[in-house]
């Protein structure tokens, strides 16, 4: 059980790192600093890889602990532990992990909305630029026919 507690503590540390990164990403997304965002995403990928490794270790430890009790969930198994200190310690770690995962989930939802807003803004600007009519900066008689190029956008999309 000691090894499981240690693994859960490692998971908590990793989740706190991911929460910190997610908070930093939120600021970077708001400030639209693309280079910093790329760095944070690379950092995050490394931490997620580490999280996966530790989580696999946790799964193996839980499976071995439940080997003699196949009908129980891990929470039920923990509730039946005879040592009160170990039981309360594991329950506390599990609750903290759950809270950290919810916090990370909430921050990631906000970041997802920020990314969607940025993408929508960029798409809107591209549509606006490519579909807007060319502005004529010289006087043009209202009787003159408009040339074909006046219906093209700011950028020649046919090129």
Domain assignment present for residue 85? The answer is yes
Domain assignment present for residue 154? The answer is no
Domain assignment present for residue 12? The answer is yes
Q: List the CATH number of the domain containing 88.
A: 1.20.58
CB 1 within 8 A of CB 65: yes
Task: Report the domain count for the chain.
Answer: 1
Query: CB-based burial of residue 25 (10 Å sphere; 0-12 exposed, 13-18 middle, 19+ buried)?
Result: buried
Q: How far apart are CA 11 and CA 95, in angstroms?
A: 12
pLDDT tens series, the chain, 159 aa: 789 999 999 999 999 999 999 999 999 999 989 899 999 999 999 999 999 999 999 999 999 988 888 888 888 888 888 889 988 999 999 999 999 999 999 999 999 999 998 888 888 888 888 776 555 555 556 665 555 444 455 555 555
Name the DSSP letter for residue 33.
-
Domain assignment present for residue 157? The answer is no
Helices (H), the chain: 2-31, 34-65, 74-79, 84-131
Q: What is the pTM of this model?
A: 0.75
Domain assignment present for residue 54? The answer is yes
Domain that holds residue 37: 2-131
Q: Is the dihedral of CA 84, 85, 90, 95 positive or negative?
A: positive
Domain assignment present for residue 115? The answer is yes
């Amino acid at each position: 059980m000691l090894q499981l507690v240690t693994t859960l503590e490692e998971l908590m540390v990793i989740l706190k790192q991911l929460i910190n990164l997610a908070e930093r990403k939120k600021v970077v997304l708001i400030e639209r600093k693309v280079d910093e965002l790329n760095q944070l995403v690379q950092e995050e990928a490394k931490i997620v890889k580490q999280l996966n490794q530790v989580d696999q270790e946790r799964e193996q430890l839980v499976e071995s602990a439940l080997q003699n009790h196949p009908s129980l969930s891990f929470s039920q198994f923990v509730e039946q532990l005879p040592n009160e200190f170990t039981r309360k310690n594991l329950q506390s770690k599990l609750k903290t992990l759950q809270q950290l995962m919810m916090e990370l989930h909430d921050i990631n939802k906000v970041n997802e909305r920020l990314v969607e807003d940025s993408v929508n803004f960029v798409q809107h600007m591209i549509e606006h630029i490519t579909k807007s009519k060319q502005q004529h900066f010289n006087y043009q008689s209202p009787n003159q026919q408009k040339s074909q190029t006046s219906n093209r956008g700011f950028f020649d999309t046919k090129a």
